[in-house]
Structures are given as C-alpha cells and as structure tokens.
Structure 1
C-alpha cells in the first residue's frame, strides 16, 4: 500500500510520516507521560503525531493545547468493531502511516486495524512482563514489540516472539526539564510548610496498589520512630488516596506525612526532596526514578522489574529485595522494612547523599535521555515503513 502525501489547506502537501498513538488509558500517569515525551522529541520535520484515547480527560485537553489531533473511541481487551473501523478510517482519510499502541487493549485494537488496513503496527509494552494476550496478538498479527526493560525483553524472546520483531528501548526523561536547577527547593516546601533546613523524603506516583503507596507510609512510620524530625511528601492521586489519608490521620502523622495530590509540574517538586523512596510492587522502568535521578535526588527502591537496570546501588541510591525474592545483594532486609532502614542510614550521612546526588545526575544524562529513546524509536518506525515500501514495490512488479 503506497503512501499518499496529505494535502494541507492551500494545496500544500505534508510529506511527514503520520503516526497515530493509540493509548489504552488517558490519566496523567507514567505511560501517558512517556507518550507526550516521545511525541515532543520525535523530529517534527519528519513525524506528525496524532493520538487516539479511550475518553476525554485533563490529559487529552493537555494534548490538544500542545497542538495535537486527539480522537476518542472505546478501548477494551476485546475491541469494539467501531474502534477498529475508526482507526481504519483515519488511516484512509488522514494518511496515517504507522500505528503505535500502549497497553494491551490498545495493542489489540491497533494490531487488528493495522492488519486490515495494511498499516505497520508497533506496541510498546510498559510492564515488566508480557501478558498472554499481548503475546498472542503479537504472534497472530505480526506487530512489532518494543519493551522498556531487559526482563520483558528476555521473556518476549523466551516465549517465541521473533527476535527481529522485538526491540528493547529504555525509557528516557526530558533533561531540559528535569535537572537540579529546575526550581528553587524552597518553592515546593513552602506549599506544605516544610522549612528549608528540614529533611524531606518523597513518594511520586499513582496512588494505586501496584505502585505500593501503602508500603511508603509503613516505611515512613518506621523511619519516624527513629527520626521524628523527618518530613514526607506523597505526590500523586489515585484509587487509594482516601484510604491512605485516613491511615495517616489515624496515626496522627498529618504534620509529618503530607498528602500533596496530583502534581501538574513534577519537575518543580524533585529539587525540594532529599531522598525518594520507590516502593512499587510492579514496574518496568518507572519514569519517577529517572526524573528523580535527573533532578539529583538519590533513590531507595525495591528492586522489581527493570528498577535494578536504573539504580546503581551504592552509587546513585540503594536497592533492596522483595519479601518474595530478596535476591538483590543488599545489607538491608527485603521490602519496605529494608527501604526504611536504608533511608535511615542515608539520611544520617549527608556527605553520602550529596555524592549520590551528583552521581544520579551523571547517570541520567549518560543513559536515560529522552532524545536517545526517541532516536531509537524513530529508527524502528523507519525500518517498518521501509519494509512496507519494499513489499509494495515487490507486489507492483508485473
């Protein structure tokens, strides 16, 4: 199927590759931030990015404010025909050249529409492992799979996905936005009545079970028993927010554990933190850790998924194991207890924290620049489009 350039108002043609990002959710979360960052860092003279989301939200409003075309259609793991129909229509009427899906419901609908319309399809899997349906969809439709951590990459190959259809592209962070000087530390601290000289430990993420915010509160309570001078900031919102706030109230710790809510500009928060605790139960390559590192904030993290690929333990932070798998080599016990003990140790050693801060920035700059991720992703896009063009030429030969 040959590519037809889009005709713009005034009769001009748009020769850019038109990518339709198909998102399985539209909250302000890690996957959604990844898509925004990618869209902003793909070469604008080569790629036009539009998006399809399952519902209207502050996120879709933000995308439109940035000049993106946004379409709304229902997305389920068993995709409705009208959504498949819409994507095929967008391919035909707006010149979409490539589909890029995120989350299993989006991958399923995009892969089917891609096969029906002859459009290359890529699915970025943001988890630390592949679900059976994601494997089946990739095998059945021949969609290309991008994974963000080595654990998911090895599983993809182990279950039999073709190596040439699997790519490992680590997440990246916008280093122009996330850096130690992105905001004055006192700016955020003033909003929660924390003095410039106080110690402030943070959690940044969705307040959902898989992100482990309840573990963060347990770690905070443990730390406060030994260091009652420390303050904690929980940045984020989610289904667990009310229950977590009630837990803090029952413990009488509202003056120490500050529930911040959703942060529209997280890059202005990180410089205020002395330490970040990452207590997630399931994660592949969390942007929160990358953002903290780029901002010069050391991290104590439970080493699940791709987290051990990010944190250089002892250099940029500390890794601890999980209760089920304490396999991370650490002097601390597994799970949130280990996180708490490691945090207490680091907070009593300001010189080590400072050293880790500098090392975190250097590691983020060297290995986790969003421009590197965008370059790798755009290369995959070009390869797929080139393969389609070669196939079209072959079929056109008499």
Structure 2
C-alpha cells in the first residue's frame, strides 16, 4: 500500500509522535510510506526518529505560516501525479485537513477513486474555539475515512448524522522498545537540570507550556505535594512554550524555588522520566497524552490532572485522575509515602500500555480503516 501522511511540522507533540510511530510501523510492514511536512525543523525534535525507509518531503523550505498555507494550492497541483498514485493520504492537524480537502476537489475534477483521504482528529476533548470545531466538522464530512483517538459527545452525534462514513475510535499508540536509558545518561541529565542526588523524590511532567495543557494547575498540584512532603521533593517540568516564564513565576510564588526545574524542550523524554518517582499527566476523561503513555512504558507510575470537571472514575480509567490540583497533590503525596504501592501501580500501568497502546496495534487499526475507506471511495 502507498501511504502519504500530511502534517504541519515534525515538532515535539502528541499528533507528531503518533504520525512518526504510525509511519515507521507501516514501513516496517512493507508499505511505501511518505511524510509531507510544511517545513523542516530541527531533526532532533522528531524528523530523526523516522525510519530510513520513510520518505520525507517539505512543502516550503522556511518556517513561515504565510508560506506554509500560501503554497498549499500550488504544491497540491504540482504533485497531483504523485498524489493520485497513493492509496491513502492521511491528514493530520489543520494543514493536513486543508490538503485533504484540496485532494478531494481535484479527485472529483479528474475522476478516479485514488487517493483515499483519511483524517485523524487529534483534538478530542481539548479546548477548541467554536468556529474551529465547526470547520473541522464540515471538513470531516468530506473524508473517505475519519479517526478519533477517543469518544466524544460531539463526534458521537457527528457519526450518527453520517452513518455511511467509515469512522473509527483508534487509541494513540507508541513504539515500545525494551531498551531503557542508561544509568550514565540519566545521571548526566540529572546533573544538567540541577536535581541533587540526595533529593528524596522527583515528581515530574513533560509537555508544551500552553494554556490547554494546564501548566499552572500542575504547579498548584506540585505546591500541594511540597506542603505535604517537605523540602526533599523536587519537581521537573519539561517542555517549551509561550507560558514558560509565567510557569516559572508561579513556581516562585508557590515557594517551590530551586526545587522546580524547567529545562525547556526535552528531546529524549524517557531519560527525563527515568529520573521521576511519579509522573503527573493531563487526562481528557480516561484518555492520557503521548507523554503519559511514554511514562508508563518507562515503568514510571502516573496519576493525572483531569480536564473534564464532571468526569467520574470508572473501569475505563487506568490512570487515577481528578480535576482539583489539590486532590492531585494529595494523591501524589500518598503514593510518595508508599514505595510498594508506587511499584505495583507502575507494573499495572506498564502492562496496560503494552496490551492496549502499542504502535503495532494502532497501525493494525489504521490499516483496517484504510481498507474501509477504500470501499467508501470506490
């Protein structure tokens, strides 16, 4: 099968990591895979993770929003011969959705059933402006296949209104290797970020410093942990973004001071996670982000700050969560006081990720959706 993925850029992010692992898994299965990004970025952010058999192309040579979107029509027209030879064009994020729409228009004009246009909507449960949701919904109705990483009331209604559209709920997956970061690499990183060797415990998280990622609420949870556990606990918040200075100021105001470590962009999350005794993720209902999956895969126990205020824990929740930063801090403090409970939790969560969130299981689910989309396009 010839598969092309479209995405704005291979930066650090959940959608980008899903694409990389999905492309690599497809290439390993013998598919011909191409990734088209709007522009190049530092290869260490993600591009370097692509399998050597995955072809990488760029729409523009410079990182510019105007060039990124302004060049789309010309790029699609210029590459139409290549695109119509693809079995699937898999669209990610807004830029991918716009390319998918242009492809569907050209396909109608030129005739034929290829390429099948499949889109993954990566924003389920996340804060999104009403006009953006309306646009995403309108574009989704024009796809040959549509995927969500979790259930959502809005998209459940959408599926009811479009029963003929092949739609699948496909949980995010990650490539789970057996190799762990070396003790030397972890020790080097500990020294780089300034966490003392005699720290009693390290609680951490990794994610972009954006309002929707709730970094200030995480700081509140950290402050509650510090109040309950004393000065021996250090806190590691990896990630860059526009709120970094605000997060640092909030940490100082909360009295975390030198115990709050903000290293910025984390290139190798698993090295940072191996420093942690407990990971605090962000959940949307029972769904956690890619970094949370990586923490569990690295044998780090995790709990989560819940973004849905009325969510109630059920059998679907493999991660304890609460919308109150104070309650998250209380739960974290309790786990830090019980090494046995933390170890047991880490093993349960690791086993769950292996069984339910591997890149292999995700790739198989997408292959099935591609087949259904082909029947729809035909």
TM-score above 0.5: yes
Question: Are the aligned partners of 1:126 and 1:147 in contact in 2 as well (CA < 8 Å)?
Answer: yes
Distance 2:171 2:319 in 1: 19
Which residue of structure 2 aligns with residue 326 of structure 1?
none
Q: 69, 93, 97: which one pairs with 2:56?
A: 69
| Separation in structure 1 between the aligned mates of residue 64 and residue 94 of structure 2, nearest angstrom | 10
Closer, same or farther in 2 for the Cα pair 1:268/1:61, shift >3 Å?
closer
Change (3 A) 1:350 1:284: closer
2:124 corresponds to 1:128: yes
- Give, in whole Å, the separation in 1 of the partners of 2:285 and 2:172: 16
Q: Decide whether the 8 Å contact of 1:183 with 1:271 is kept in 2.
A: no
Larger Rg: 1
Number of equivalent positions: 353
CA contact (8 A) 2:208 2:239 kept: yes
Report how far residue 349 of structure 1 moved: 1.5
Cα distance in 2 for partners of 1:98, 1:80 equals: 22
The answer as to whether partners of 2:76 and 2:103 remain within 8 angstroms in 1 is yes
Task: Output aligned runs, 1:170-209, within 5 Å.
Answer: 170-176=171-177, 181-184=180-183, 186-191=187-192, 192-195=194-197, 198-209=200-211
- The equivalent residue for 2:227 is 225
Root-mean-square deviation (Å):
3.3
Question: Structure 2, unaligned stretches of length 5 or more?
Answer: 108-113
Confirm or deny that 1:268 pairs with 2:271: yes
The aligned residue for residue 366 of structure 2 is: 377
Whether contact under 8 Å (2:189, 2:272) holds in the other structure is yes
Deviation at 1:262?
Answer: 1.1
Instruction: Find out whether 1:40 has 2:36 as its counterpart.
Output: no
2:320 is matched with which residue: 318, 321, 335?
318
Deviations 1:196-254 (A, max 9, x none): 66201001111111011111111112221221221110011111112212333455533
Aligned residue number for residue 250 of structure 2: 247
Supply the distance in 1 between the matched residues of 2:285 and 2:71 (Cα, whole angstroms).
Answer: 33
Residues 176, 279 of structure 1: alpha-carbon distance in 2 compared, 3 angstrom cutoff:
closer
Contact kept, 8 Å, 1:295 with 1:361, in 2: the verdict is yes
Separation of aligned partners in 2, 1:244 and 1:40: 35
Contact between 1:102 and 1:125, CA under 8 Å: does it hold in 2?
yes
Partner SS, residue 146 of structure 1:
strand
- Does the aligned pair in 2 maintain the 1:147–1:153 contact within 8 Å? no
Deviations 1:230-288 (A, max 9, x none): 11100111111122123334555332111121111112222221111124689954111
**Aligned-pair distance for 1:61?**
8.0
User: Which residue of 2 is the match for residue 150 of structure 1?
Assistant: 151
* Residues 247 and 309 of structure 1, relative CA distance in 2, 3 Å threshold: closer
SS at match of 2:6: strand
CA contact (8 A) 2:15 2:92 kept: yes
Aligned counterparts of 2:278 and 2:33: Cα–Cα separation in 1? 36
Contact 1:183 1:269 in 2 (8 A): no
Match of residue 115 from structure 2: 119
For residue 50 of structure 1, the aligned residue among 26, 34, 54 is 34
Cα pair distance change 1:354/1:285, threshold 3 Å: closer
